[in-house]
Amino acid sequence: MAARSNSSVKQLAESPNLSSIPSNYIYHSDPAETDLQASIPVIDLSLLTSHNPHHKAKAIHDLDQACQHWGFFILVNHGMPEELTQGMLEAAAEFFNLSEADKPDFNPENVFVHPHFACPHKPQSLRGLLPEYCERSRDVVAKLLKAISESLGLEETEMEKALEMTSSLQIFVANYYPRCPNPEAAMGILPHSDHGLFTLLIQNGVGGLQIQHHQRWFNVNPPPNSILVNTGDHLEIYSNGKYKSVLHRAIVNNKTARISIATANGPSLDAVVAPACRLVQGEGGGVVAAYAAMKYKDYLLEQQSGQLDGKTMLKRVRIQD
Ligand X SMILES: O=C(O)CCC(=O)C(=O)O
Minimum separation from the CB atom of position 83 to Fe ion (A): 26
Considering CB under 6 A, how many residues would be counted as binding ligand X? 11
- Contact present, 188 and 177 (Cβ < 8 Å): yes
Binding segment toward ligand X, per CB under 6 A, in 63-71, 118-126, 154-162, 201-209: 201-209
Distance CA 62, CA 48 (A): 10
| Sequential DSSP letters for 81-109 | -HHHHHHHHHHHHHHHHS-GGGS-SS-TT
CA angle 272–276–277, rounded 5-degree value: 105
According to DSSP H, which parts of the chain are helical?
Answer: 7-14, 45-48, 53-69, 82-97, 124-151, 158-162, 233-238, 296-304, 312-317
Residue type, 173: V
Nearer to ligand X, 47 or 246 (CB): 246
Minimum separation from the CB atom of position 237 to ligand X (A): 18
- Residues 180-239 binding Fe ion (CB under 5 A) are 194
Site for Fe ion contains 158 (CB under 5 A)? no
Nearer to Fe ion, 93 or 190 (CB): 190
Which of 47, 187, 200, 209 binds ligand X (CB under 6 A)? It is: 209
Site for ligand X contains 150 (CB under 6 A)? no
Minimum separation from the CB atom of position 229 to ligand X (A): 12
Short-list 276, 227, 232, 312, CA closest to 71:
232
Q: Which sign, positive or negative, has the C-alpha torsion 271, 277, 279, 285? A: positive
Nearest residue by C-beta to Fe ion? 194
Site mask for ligand X (CB under 6 A), range 106-135, x = bound: ------------------------------
Pairing of strands 42-44, 72-76: parallel
Nearer to ligand X, 149 or 263 (CB): 263
Site for ligand X contains 170 (CB under 6 A)? no
**In DSSP terms, which residues pair with 262 in a beta bridge?**
173, 201
- Contact residues toward ligand X (CB under 6 A) are 173, 175, 189, 194, 201, 208-209, 248, 250, 260, 262
- Contact residues toward Fe ion (CB under 5 A) are 194
